[in-house]
Chains A and B, each alone.
Chain A
Amino acid sequence: MKDSYTLKSLAVLLENNKISSKELTSEYLKNIENGKELNCYNTISQEKALIDAEKSDERRKSQNLRSKYDGIPIGIKDLFCTKGVTTTASSKILSNFVPNYESTVTQNCDDAGLISLGKLNCDEFAMGSTNKTSFFGSVKNPWKSVNSDYELVPGGSSGGSAAAVSGDLCVASLGTDTGGSIRQPASFTGTVGLKPSYGRVSRWGIVAFASSLDQAGPITKTVEDAAILLDIISGHDEKDSTSSVNPKENYYENLNSDIKGMKIGIPKEFRSDKLPASTQKSWDECANLLKTNGAEIVDISLPHTMSALPAYYIIAPAEASSNLARYDGVRYGLRVKGNDLIDMYEKTRSEGFGDEVKRRILIGTYVLSSGYYDAYYIKAQKIRSLIKSDYVEAFKKVDAILTPSTPSTAFEIANEPSDPVQNYLNDIFTVPVNLAGLPGISIPYANDENNLPIGLQLITNSFEEQKLLNVAKNIEETINYSETPEKWWLK
C-alpha cells in the first residue's frame, strides 16, 4: 500500500476518510525515525506536525478545507525560512537561526493545508551535488548498487529532499535548483524533480545562493504530483522583484499526455563517449518511444553547451560571494569572538562556512575584483547570452528538448575526487537550463546494470511548464517506471 502513496492518492484517502491527517503524519514521522540512518532531516518538526495535522483533521470535519491536499505532510529543504523552525542552510553559520518569518513558498504550502514534517538536509548553502558539503553530514541514497554494499550519494544539493521522497520519509518535498540541485538528486534517487522557469516561483524567504539562478521546485514520485505541488507553490509574488507577472496555469488540471505532432529536439552537444552505455541507451529508447507516441524527433544543436559549466562557475560564485556577505556574526547566526570587528568577521566566517562554500566565496570574490571583472564576470554573462540565444533558436524548431539528467548514476559517498572541478561536472547537463532561465524536469526512466536509477531531462521554453509536464507525463505513462529501493536501513 505504502509505495503507492502519492499526493494524488493521499488526497483521495483523506477525502474518503480512509486515513486521517494525524495518522498519516504519524506514519511518516515513524518512517523518519526508522530512517534516521539516511540523515535526510536536519530538523524533525514532530510536535508541530502533529498539532498541524490535528488542525487539518478538524478542518476536514468542519468541511473547511484549504485545498484538496489539506493534511498531507511533506518535507522542506532546509533552505526555506520557516517561522519558529530552525533554518540552517545546512551550515554551521546558521545552525542556531530561527526565523520569525515564513518563506512565500512554504506559506503557500501552509495555505493549501500541507503539513511540514521538518527540514531536509542539503549541501551547505545549496553548494554541491553530493550533499556531502552539509555541516550535518552526508545524506545516504536509499538506493544501493546490486553489486556492492557501499553507501551512495543522493546527489545534491537537494539530496535530503530527493532521498526522503525516494525512501518514503515523505510523499513529496520542496527543493531548490541553482544549477541542477533538484534534477540531479531526483535523477540519482529515481524521483521526479522539477525546476520551474526562473521567476515562476517566489524566491522570497529562501536562503539565497545565486539570485539570478535559484528557483524552488518540487521533488515527487510522479509527474502528476509535480504538477500538483507546482500549482500550490507557484505564482507572482510582489515581494520578489524577479517574480514573473505571467499568469500561472492549472498545471494539474490541464495535464494532457497527448504529444502527437510535437517536435522533440535531441541536442548533439549532449552526446559524449563518456556517457555510460545504459544512460545512452535510455536516452535513445526514450526518443524512440516519443516518436512511437506521435512526436517528431529532431536533431538540434546548442552550440555553447560546453561553455555553460565554466560560465556557471563564475556567475554562481560571484553572486554567492555577495549573497553570503550578510553572514557576518552581527545580527544573527554564529559569532566567533575576535580582537576587533575585522577579526570577528574573519573568524566567524572562517569557522562558520565549510570548505566548498569558502572556495566559492573566494572564487566569486576574485572574479568580481578589480582587474578581473571584465575578463571573468562580464565574459561569463556574455556566454550566458549566447546560451540563452541557443535555446531561443532551438525552440523555434522544437517544443521540448530531451537529454540525460546526469552524466552518471549515483556514486559512492566515499569516492572523493581530489579536484573540486570533478564534482562540478555532475551538473553539466542541468546547468545550461538555469543560465537560460528555462524549466526542466528530471524523470526516472530505467535502472542501470547496477539497479541504479537513470534520469532523463526534458526542457521547454520559459513558462511552458504545462508542455513540459505533458511530455513528461507521456513518458511516465508509457514506461510505467515502478522501481523502488530496497529499504536496507530498516533491517
Chain B
Amino acid sequence: MEFDKKSLLKLGKLARISISDDKLNNLSKDLNSILEFVDQLKEIKTDQVDPTSNSLNQKLEVRDDKVDTKNSAEDILENAPEKEMDFFVVPKVIE
C-alpha cells in the first residue's frame, strides 16, 4: 500500500494529529519509504511461528486489593491546562 494524501489524512484523524497541506508531500514520501523498508519482512516465512509481544518470560505479578492512594484532587489537577471546581475542563462535547 502507498500513502497517498487521502489515506494520510485519514491516518492523521485516527492518530489525532492534524497534517497541514504543505507537509503532506514530504510526510507521505517519508512514510512510504519506511513502509518500503519494513515490507522486506514479507519475504520471511513465519507460518509456524508464535508472536512475542514481550520478551520477559515470567508470570503476571498481581497485587492485593488494597486502597493506597494519597492523591488529592489538587495533586491530580496540578498540571491541568484548564480546570474548574476540581474538574478537568475540555471544549463542550456533544454526545
What residues of chain A have their CB less than 8 Å away from a CB belonging to chain B? 96-98, 100, 198-199, 212, 238, 241-245, 304, 307, 309-311, 313-314, 321, 325, 328-335, 338-347, 349-350, 353, 358-359, 361-363, 365-367, 369, 372, 375-376, 378-386, 388, 419-421, 424, 435-437, 462
CB of B75 within 8 A of CB of A100, answer yes
| CB < 8 Å neighbour of A198 from B27, B41, B56, B76 | B56
Q: Which of A98, A241, A309 has the most CB of B within 10 A?
A: A241
CB of A359 within 8 A of CB of B14, answer no
Contacts of A304 in B (CB 8 A): 44
> Which size bracket describes the interface of B in this complex?
35 or more
- Give CA–CA (A346, B91) in the complex, Å: 13
Q: How far, in Å, is A319 (CB) from chain B's closest CB? A: 9
Contacts of A307 in B (CB 8 A): 40-41, 44
User: CB-nearest residue of chain B relative to A199?
Assistant: B56
In the complex, B21 has a CB within 8 A of chain A: no
Contacts of A376 in B (CB 8 A): 38
Contacts of A100 in B (CB 8 A): 75, 78
What residues of chain B have their CB less than 8 Å away from a CB belonging to chain A? 1, 8, 11-20, 27, 30-31, 33-35, 37-42, 44, 46, 49-58, 60-61, 63, 75-76, 78-82, 88, 90-93
- Give CA–CA (A361, B14) in the complex, Å: 10
Contacts of B42 in A (CB 8 A): 375, 379
Contacts of B91 in A (CB 8 A): 338-341, 343-344
Q: Would you give 15 A-B contacts (Cβ < 8 Å), ordered by A?
A: A98-B79, A242-B56, A310-B41, A313-B34, A321-B15, A331-B88, A332-B80, A334-B81, A338-B91, A349-B16, A350-B20, A358-B27, A362-B15, A379-B42, A421-B37
- Give CA–CA (A214, B27) in the complex, Å: 26
CB of B79 within 8 A of CB of A198, answer no
CB of B60 within 8 A of CB of A241, answer yes
- Give CA–CA (A341, B27) in the complex, Å: 25
Q: How far, in Å, is B59 (CB) from chain A's closest CB? A: 9
CB of A314 within 8 A of CB of B38, answer yes
Q: How far, in Å, is A235 (CB) from chain B's closest CB? A: 14
- A359/B55 contact (C-beta < 8 A), A310-B41, A383-B46, A421-B34 known: no
CB of A435 within 8 A of CB of B38, answer no
Kindly list the 5 A-B residue pairs having the minimum CB-CB distance in the complex, ordered from nearest. Answer: A437-B55, A381-B51, A332-B79, A335-B81, A346-B18
- A347/B51 contact (C-beta < 8 A), A331-B88, A359-B34, A437-B56 known: no
| CB < 8 Å neighbour of A382 from B11, B49, B78 | B49
CB of B34 within 8 A of CB of A420, answer yes
Contacts of B54 in A (CB 8 A): 198, 212, 242, 437
CB of A310 within 8 A of CB of B11, answer no
- Give CA–CA (A342, B90) in the complex, Å: 10
CB of A420 within 8 A of CB of B33, answer yes
Contacts of B12 in A (CB 8 A): 346, 362
CB of A436 within 8 A of CB of B55, answer yes
Q: How far, in Å, is B53 (CB) from chain A's closest CB? A: 6
CB of A310 within 8 A of CB of B55, answer no
- Give CA–CA (A212, B52) in the complex, Å: 10
CB of A313 within 8 A of CB of B38, answer yes
- Give CA–CA (A333, B93) in the complex, Å: 21
Contacts of B81 in A (CB 8 A): 329-330, 332-335
Contacts of A340 in B (CB 8 A): 91-93
Contacts of B8 in A (CB 8 A): 362
CB of A341 within 8 A of CB of B34, answer no
Q: How far, in Å, is B81 (CB) from chain A's closest CB? A: 4
CB of B41 within 8 A of CB of A362, answer no
| CB < 8 Å neighbour of B58 from A199, A379, A424 | A199
Q: How far, in Å, is B94 (CB) from chain A's closest CB? A: 8
- Give CA–CA (A365, B15) in the complex, Å: 7
Q: How far, in Å, is B6 (CB) from chain A's closest CB? A: 14
CB of A311 within 8 A of CB of B41, answer yes
- A244/B90 contact (C-beta < 8 A), A310-B38, A421-B34 known: no
CB of B31 within 8 A of CB of A363, answer yes
- A365/B51 contact (C-beta < 8 A), A244-B56, A310-B38, A332-B80 known: no
